[in-house]
Copies of this chain bind each other. A is one copy, B any other.
Amino acid sequence: MLEALLNTLDRDARQQETWGTVASYIPELAAVDPAQFAISVCTVDGQEYHAGDYQVPFSIQSVSKVFTLALALGRLGDGLWDRVGREPSGRAFNSIVQLEVEEGIPRNPFINAGAIVTTDAVLGRQAPRDTLGEILSFLREAAGDTNIHINRHVARSEQKTGDRNYSLAYFLKSCGNLSNDCDRVLGTYFHHCAIEMTTVQLARAARFLCGGFSHQRLIGIERVRSINALMMTCGHYDGSGDFAYRVGFPGKSGVGGGIMAVVPNVASIAVWSPGLDRYGNSLQGTAALARLSRETGWSVFA
């Protein structure tokens, strides 16, 4: 039944009037064909279901912030919360207004400023190369797949057009909320955002946040709950409330069109469609998750 449903979602996505708009700030993302869709689901009983372009790797972008957060919490524990908040921001993903008002403490780890701080926390005194190795290892172990890599062209393009992120980083630095220098932190940040995965890999990688996969104990259950709570309230920038309303389980989107989602104790999910809505979240990806939620009753809200 789930297999049939995923195929329906795939067919539906391809019959919509609009795919949304692909991110255009770097050539590598701008060149992606918007007319693509993929979905993968791993259920706690060990089954896997896929539909659409599930073998096409895409740039996971901000989805990587979830893994960085997991590592930062592993390193600093609750001390991380002295440097970054846990509240929805009520603003765009790259807004600097809130940073000034709240004196350099980003609202949450999923807006750009917050992810820059968690990247700094994971870096510590390590070399960026080692930190990136650590992030990749974590992802590969979570996904059970060594074939996960960083696209260095994408990372370089991000760096070239990353003025707004540099502005955020220097602001954080001026408030004393970065221990490494801005180039070092952003170099690492741009690289982990440039990781490429298929929905198959991403759905598998998300199992550690599901709570029901017995062999997926990369982090403790308390931390799983924490990260899922953050994805629920802050995972989709200023469209987080809408995602919770329409989909009803935790997820994290990226500007590459991917969304990683978790139905606690039931399934882990990855969906991808590169066209975005006005908040920067995948248009058809979100629509598919909304329908999946309705059809399965997987909403955590009843």
- Please give the residue numbers on chain A whose beta carbons come within 8 Å of chain B beta carbons, in ascending order: 85-91, 95-101, 107-108, 163-164, 166-171, 173-174, 182, 209-212, 221-222, 224-226, 228-230, 232-234, 238-242, 244-245, 248, 250, 264-265, 294, 299-302
Contact = CB atoms under 8 A, between A and B. Distances in A.
Tallying the copies of this chain within the complex gives: 4
A87 B85 contact: no
Given A100-B97, A301-B225, A87 B171 contact: no
Which 3 residue pairs are nearest across A and B when measured between Cβ atoms? A90-B90, A211-B302, A88-B88
Contact of A226 (B107, B245, B265): B245
Contact of A238 (B87, B91, B164, B241): B87
A51 B85 CA distance: 33
B302 A210 contact: yes
Contact of A170 (B87, B88, B164, B211): B164
Contacts of A182: 163, 166
Given A167-B167, A170-B164, A174-B163, A239 B302 contact: no
Contacts of A167: 96, 166-171, 173-174
A87 B302 CA distance: 20
Given A164-B171, A167-B174, A301 B229 contact: yes
A184 to B, nearest CB: 14
10 contacts: A87-B241, A90-B107, A164-B170, A166-B173, A166-B182, A167-B169, A209-B302, A229-B301, A264-B302, A265-B302
A229 B211 contact: no
Nearest to A98: B90
Contact of A87 (B101, B228, B242): B242
